């Protein structure tokens, strides 16, 4: 089991060196990460963009983790920079073969450019290691950073779910994005060759 875990980590971990200073990697979330991830998720600058915006209690967070980590269709990943937990990514397989939804957030005090590193590592992982065929994302219409982030990563806007989400006495549109494995292969190739995503 320990060897399997090590092999898994070696396969999974996407290590990048940023100007020889910042080392970042993506790794599976464990129970030891609960408090770090809760602090990130509850940060006002993350929470305001989520579909559920209340402050999450430690119990609620724990029971979410217990459920999600038992679910074979869900993958929970921590993005670390210099061993500090700086982001979170979740992939959840849908009922469509090879298609998963993703969700993510980066620590608001992480340096500019952290999102692109997390996105690059997570999508490379999803397509290469998990063998997924398509990743889908959804963002509230006013979440401009996330909308621009999806476009930046090469996602195509595939639709708008009008007035899909009720919050603060109003309905809000959801913007739907999709990215195919073959599209990512081109972006990844260009990224590596142009140093664009580093």
Ligand X SMILES: CC(C)(COP(=O)(O)OP(=O)(O)OC[C@H]1O[C@@H](n2cnc3c(N)ncnc32)[C@H](O)[C@@H]1OP(=O)(O)O)[C@@H](O)C(=O)NCCC(=O)NCCS
Of 66 and 145, which has the nearer Cβ to ligand X?
145
Interacting span for ligand X (CB under 6 A) from 21-29, 72-80, 113-121, 179-187: 113-121
Chain centre distance of CA 21:
23
Q: Is 24 in the site for ligand X (CB under 6 A)?
A: no
Q: Is 46 in the site for ligand X (CB under 6 A)?
A: yes
Restricted to residues 71-90, the positions that interact with ligand X (CB under 6 A) are none
Q: Are 135 and 126 spatial neighbours (Cβ–Cβ below 8 Å)?
A: yes
Q: Which of 33, 75, 78, 146 binds ligand X (CB under 6 A)?
A: 146
Q: Is 102 in the site for ligand X (CB under 6 A)?
A: no
- Nearest distance in Å: CB 22, ligand X: 13
Q: Is 175 in the site for ligand X (CB under 6 A)?
A: no
Q: Are 67 and 59 spatial neighbours (Cβ–Cβ below 8 Å)?
A: no
Sign of the dihedral defined by the CA atoms of residues 94, 79, 57, 45, in that order: negative
Q: Is 159 in the site for ligand X (CB under 6 A)?
A: no
Burial 63-75 (b: 16+ CB within 10 A, else e): ebbeeeeeeeeeb
DSSP track, 88-144: EEEEEE-SSTTEEEEEEEE-TTSPTTHHHHHHHHHHHIIIIIS--SEEEEEEETT-H
- Nearest distance in Å: CB 108, ligand X: 7
By CB under 6 A, name the binding residues for ligand X.
46, 49, 104-106, 112-116, 139, 143-146, 148-149, 152
């Amino acid at each position: 089991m320990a060897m399997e875990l090590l092999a898994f980590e070696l396969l999974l971990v996407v290590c990048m060196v940023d100007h020889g200073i910042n080392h970042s990697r993506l790794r599976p979330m464990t129970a030891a990460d609960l408090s770090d991830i809760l602090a990130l998720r509850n940060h006002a600058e993350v929470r305001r963009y989520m579909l559920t915006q209340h402050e999450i209690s430690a119990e609620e967070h724990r029971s979410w983790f217990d459920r999600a980590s038992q679910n074979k269709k869900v993958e929970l990943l921590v993005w670390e920079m210099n061993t500090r937990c700086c982001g979170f990514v979740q992939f959840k397989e849908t009922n469509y073969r090879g298609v998963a939804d993703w969700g993510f957030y980066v620590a608001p005090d992480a340096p500019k450019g952290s999102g692109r590193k997390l996105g690059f590592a997570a999508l490379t992982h999803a397509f290469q290691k998990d063998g997924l065929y398509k990743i889908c994302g959804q963002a509230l219409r006013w979440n401009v950073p996330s909308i621009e982030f999806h476009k930046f990563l090469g996602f195509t806007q595939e639709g708008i779910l009008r007035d899909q989400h009720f919050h603060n006495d109003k309905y809000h549109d959801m913007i739907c994005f999709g990215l195919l494995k073959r599209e990512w292969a081109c972006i990844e190739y260009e990224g590596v060759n142009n140093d664009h995503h580093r």
